[in-house]
């Protein structure tokens, strides 16, 4: 199995040369002291932790999985010790507020640590990842007393958090959840119901688990407008804020899954468990969206991790594996065959992995800088603009990056051939681990509906235009640069086509709203390829500037430009097949009666 190696050079390229994060932080008063030296030192420490602590226990976590007995979950060998080290190094506290023991550093720095951890060992990374969302939710919506009681220990990592949404009869349709919250005389609530698919719902890595739970009050209206949000700890805090008596919440079982087997996915039973209302009654979904957006960006990152991890393994193997001769003549005549990396079909797969990993990294990191602005931007106008851009890009990032990350993972298996199907090489584990990313936090299909229906059509294209203006300005600024011509011309054409295609869908939807559902997934993929195309053009421009100035490693910049060329010639044309499918319309999907689909 290939040992994970943190791609520090590419991470630094995106952060410092493309996004100019030091300048970005300087423009946000809360982050003004976050300089390059600090950023690099944290990332280098994170890389050492991921490489030395997490990567070595990735395979055994998959093979051993979690153990369940009478409500108790035991994580795989080494998971608990790695978590203790993570807490000791303070990584979980990076982004939290200093008043609760956090370091107050930007979200965009925390996302880098999440990538390092996730690529090295996604199952393990699920545990602290869920806590970040709980912290964000309580920071934004908790009362002063709730923050004082829970945030210090969640931030330190002494306690961990979950989010409990899904129920056996209700997946993403949260409007039909049945978990009840009965008011009690002391101001608390008795929470009763069952939640499923709860990641890190029970484990042995921390002394307490704080569940963030959606439930209904007795007088709640039906649908999503009648959902409230509650804190339900595994152990109720005592008067000193330490672990007290056991609450009425217990793990009923853990799921037997296709992948991420080291992450406990639990059925959680709430039996009149004591809970505490977070935020206003019947406004739970509004509060939970703080958590859900965090989770969706984190899930988008899983696509990047899958592409990066699979690419590292496939590239190493392709350089070493000998098979056949190059069609244009032997490349290593002294050997019995050529390394398979010389074959165009293998290079096609490797470069596809590379552009999805590096392009996805740029997309998530750029999106995370917008999170910085939303959280701590200097002006309301800046925060609103960043929030609108995030609202548009988040469903693209979540759905598109997990889809292409899964594609990249499958290429890893294919490069290895028969060896890719064997567990010891690690490629098939990446495929299994990342498959869930296309499902949780809203499936690809749900994210696509959110993008096209809510973010584009319901805003009359305003959110789309905000982004296409950014692309247009980039193209305009580079139209006189002959080195950028091959990127700018196609990007400019697609940017205009994007608007025209959206109008076409909108016109059809006025006649039949199901046209939105018929077009949504292909529209999302189409949008994702253009968005990543913009980022690859941006990275190519930066690389060209660095080479022209004689700065840095010329070979690195040249490889970046060549990767951009590959993306534009071999990947971006996929937009045209998605456009054709969109234009195929609704009718062909609905003409076959559901009862006669099987023959």
pLDDT tens digit sequence for 160-173: 999 999 999 887 77
Q: pLDDT grade, residue 291 (50/70/90)?
A: low
CA atoms of 478 and 480, how far apart (whole Å) = 6
Q: What is the mean pLDDT of residues 104-127?
A: 97
Total number of residues shown for the chain: 599
Which 3 state secondary structure label does DSSP give 279? Answer: coil
Q: Catalytic residues, which ones?
A: 441
Which 3 state secondary structure label does DSSP give 192? Answer: strand
Q: What is the mean pLDDT of residues 244-267?
A: 98
By the 8 A CB rule, do 282 and 288 touch? Answer: no
Take residue 575 and report the two structure tokens written for it.
Answer: 């937009």
Q: Quick one: which H or E segment has residue 356?
A: helix 344-376
Tell the residue number behind the tokens 């005592």, with chain if given: 238
Q: What does the pLDDT read at residue 233?
A: 98
CA atoms of 253 and 264, how far apart (whole Å) = 10
Q: What does the pLDDT read at residue 111?
A: 96
- pLDDT tens digits along 62-72: 999 999 999 99
By the 8 A CB rule, do 570 and 492 touch? Answer: no
Query: Which residues have a Cβ under 8 Å from the Cβ of 401 and sit 6 or more positions away?
Result: 300, 301, 303, 304, 356, 360, 363, 364, 528
CA atoms of 335 and 116, how far apart (whole Å) = 37
Q: What is the mean pLDDT of residues 514-522?
A: 98
Taking the chain, what is the end-to-end CA distance rounded to the nearest angstrom?
A: 45
Q: What does the pLDDT read at residue 169?
A: 87
Helices 284-320, 427-435: axis angle to 10 degrees equals: 160
By the 8 A CB rule, do 211 and 269 touch? Answer: no
Q: Quick one: which H or E segment has residue 335?
A: none
Q: What does the pLDDT read at residue 583?
A: 97
Helices 380-416, 462-478: axis angle to 10 degrees equals: 80
Q: What is the mean pLDDT of residues 195-215?
A: 97
Take residue 420 and report the two structure tokens written for it.
Answer: 């890719």
By the 8 A CB rule, do 564 and 537 touch? Answer: yes
Q: What is the mean pLDDT of residues 559-583?
A: 98
- pLDDT tens digits along 466-514: 999 999 999 999 999 999 999 999 999 999 999 999 999 999 999 999 9
All domains of the chain, ordered by start, with CATH?
A: 288-443 (1.20.140.10), 448-590 (no CATH)
Please state the three-class secondary structure of 483-532 as a single string.
Answer: HHHHHHHHHHHHHHHHHHHHHHHHHHHHHCCHHHHHHHHHHHHHHHHHHH
For residue 599, pLDDT over 80 is answered with no
Q: What does the pLDDT read at residue 351?
A: 98
- pLDDT tens digits along 362-386: 999 999 999 999 999 999 999 999 9
CA atoms of 106 and 113, how far apart (whole Å) = 12
Q: What does the pLDDT read at residue 156?
A: 96
Q: What does the pLDDT read at residue 15?
A: 98
For residue 79, pLDDT over 70 is answered with yes
The three-point CA angle 515-518-521 to 5° equals 130
Q: What does the pLDDT read at residue 294?
A: 67
CA atoms of 186 and 417, how far apart (whole Å) = 63
- CA nearest to 300, candidates 350, 360, 344: 360
CA atoms of 595 and 599, how far apart (whole Å) = 9
Q: What is the mean pLDDT of residues 324-348?
A: 97
Helices (runs of H) and strands (runs of E) counted in the chain: 20, 11
For residue 201, pLDDT over 90 is answered with yes
For residue 244, pLDDT over 90 is answered with yes
Farthest CA pair distance, the chain: 84
- pLDDT tens digits along 85-99: 999 999 999 999 999
User: How many Cβ atoms from other residues are within 10 Å of residue 356's Cβ?
Assistant: 30
CA atoms of 571 and 529, how far apart (whole Å) = 8
Q: What is the mean pLDDT of the chain?
A: 96
Q: What does the pLDDT read at residue 404?
A: 98
Q: What does the pLDDT read at residue 170?
A: 80
Take residue 347 and report the two structure tokens written for it.
Answer: 């290079």
Q: pLDDT grade, residue 463 (50/70/90)?
A: very high
Q: What is the mean pLDDT of residues 509-520?
A: 98
By the 8 A CB rule, do 526 and 582 touch? Answer: yes
* Torsion on CA atoms 546, 548, 549, 554, rounded to nearest 10: 50
Q: What does the pLDDT read at residue 31?
A: 98
Q: What does the pLDDT read at residue 292?
A: 67
598, exposed or middle or buried, with CB in 10 Å at 0-12, 13-18, 19+?
A: exposed
Tell the residue number behind the tokens 């080479």, with chain if given: 547
By the 8 A CB rule, do 10 and 358 touch? Answer: yes
For residue 324, pLDDT over 80 is answered with yes
CA 121 to the chain's CA centroid: 14
Q: Quick one: which H or E segment has residue 45?
A: helix 36-49
Q: What is the DSSP string of 365-422?
A: HHHHHHHHHHHH-SSHHHHHHHHHHHHHHHHHHHHHHHHHHHHHHHHHHHHHGGGGGS
Take residue 208 and report the two structure tokens written for it.
Answer: 């307490």
Tell how strand 72-74 and strand 265-278 pair up.
Answer: unpaired
Q: pLDDT grade, residue 290 (50/70/90)?
A: low
Top-confidence residue, 279 or 297: 279
52, exposed or middle or buried, with CB in 10 Å at 0-12, 13-18, 19+?
A: middle
Query: Which residues have a Cβ under 8 Å from the Cβ of 245 and sit 6 or more positions away?
Result: 235, 236, 238
Which has the minimum average pLDDT: 1-10, 167-176, 249-258, 416-425?
167-176
CA atoms of 113 and 306, how far apart (whole Å) = 15
């Amino acid at each position: 199995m290939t040992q994970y190696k943190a791609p520090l050079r590419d991470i630094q390229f995106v952060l410092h040369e493309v996004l100019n994060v030091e300048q970005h932080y300087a423009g946000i008063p809360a982050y003004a002291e976050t300089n390059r030296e600090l950023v690099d030192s944290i990332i280098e420490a994170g890389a050492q932790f991921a490489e030395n602590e997490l990567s070595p226990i990735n395979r055994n976590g998959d093979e051993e999985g979690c153990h369940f007995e009478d409500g108790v979950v035991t994580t795989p060998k080494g998971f608990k010790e790695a978590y203790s080290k993570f807490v000791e190094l303070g990584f979980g506290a990076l982004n939290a507020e200093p008043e609760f023991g956090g370091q107050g550093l930007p979200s965009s720095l925390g996302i880098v640590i999440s990538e390092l951890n996730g690529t090295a060992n996604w199952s393990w990374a699920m545990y602290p990842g869920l806590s970040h969302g709980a912290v964000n939710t309580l920071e934004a919506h908790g009362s002063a007393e709730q923050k004082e009681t829970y945030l210090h220990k969640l931030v330190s990592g002494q306690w961990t958090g979950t989010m409990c949404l899904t129920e056996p009869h209700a997946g993403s349709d949260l409007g039909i959840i049945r978990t009840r919250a009965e008011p009690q005389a002391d101001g608390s609530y008795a929470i009763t119901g069952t939640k499923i698919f709860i990641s890190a719902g029970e484990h042995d890595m921390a002394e307490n688990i704080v569940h963030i739970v959606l439930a209904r009050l007795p007088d709640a209206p039906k649908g999503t407008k009648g959902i409230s949000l509650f804190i339900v700890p595994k152990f109720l805090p005592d008067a000193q804020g330490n672990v007290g008596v056991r609450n009425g919440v217990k793990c009923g079982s853990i799921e037997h899954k296709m992948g991420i087997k080291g992450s406990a996915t639990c059925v959680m039973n709430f039996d009149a468990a004591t809970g505490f209302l977070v935020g206003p009654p019947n406004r739970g979904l509004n509060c939970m969206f703080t958590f859900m957006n965090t989770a969706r960006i984190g899930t988008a990152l899983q696509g990047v991790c899958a592409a990066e991890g699979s690419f590292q393994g496939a590239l190493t193997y392709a350089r070493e594996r000998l098979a056949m001769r190059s069609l244009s003549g032997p490349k290593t005549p002294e050997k019995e065959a050529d390394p398979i990396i010389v074959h165009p079909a293998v290079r096609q797969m490797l470069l596809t992995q590379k552009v999805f990993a590096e392009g996805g990294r740029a997309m998530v990191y750029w999106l995370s800088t917008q999170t910085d602005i939303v959280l701590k931007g200097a002006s309301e106008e800046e925060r609103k603009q960043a929030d609108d851009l995030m609202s548009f890009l988040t469903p693209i990032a979540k759905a598109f990056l997990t889809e292409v990350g899964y594609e990249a993972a499958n290429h890893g298996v294919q490069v290895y051939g028969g060896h890719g199907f064997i567990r010891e090489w690690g490629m098939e584990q990446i495929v299994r681990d990342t498959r869930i990313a296309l499902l949780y936090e809203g499936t690809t299909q749900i994210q696509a509906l959110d993008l096209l229906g809510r973010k584009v059509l319901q805003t009359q294209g305003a959110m789309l235009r905000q982004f296409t203006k950014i692309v247009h300005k980039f193209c305009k600024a580079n139209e006189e640069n002959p080195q950028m011509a091959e990127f700018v011309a196609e990007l400019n054409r697609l940017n205009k086509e994007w608007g025209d295609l959206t109008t076409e869908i909108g016109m059809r939807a006025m006649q039949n709203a199901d046209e939105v559902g018929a077009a949504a997934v292909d529209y999302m993929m189409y949008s994702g390829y253009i968005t990543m195309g913009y980022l690859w053009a941006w990275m190519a421009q930066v690389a060209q500037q660095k080479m022209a100035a004689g700065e840095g490693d010329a070979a690195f910049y040249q490889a970046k430009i060549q990767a951009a060329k590959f993306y534009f010639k071999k990947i971006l044309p996929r937009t045209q097949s998605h456009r054709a499918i969109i234009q195929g319309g609704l009718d062909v999907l609905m003409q076959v009666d559901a009862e006669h689909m099987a023959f």
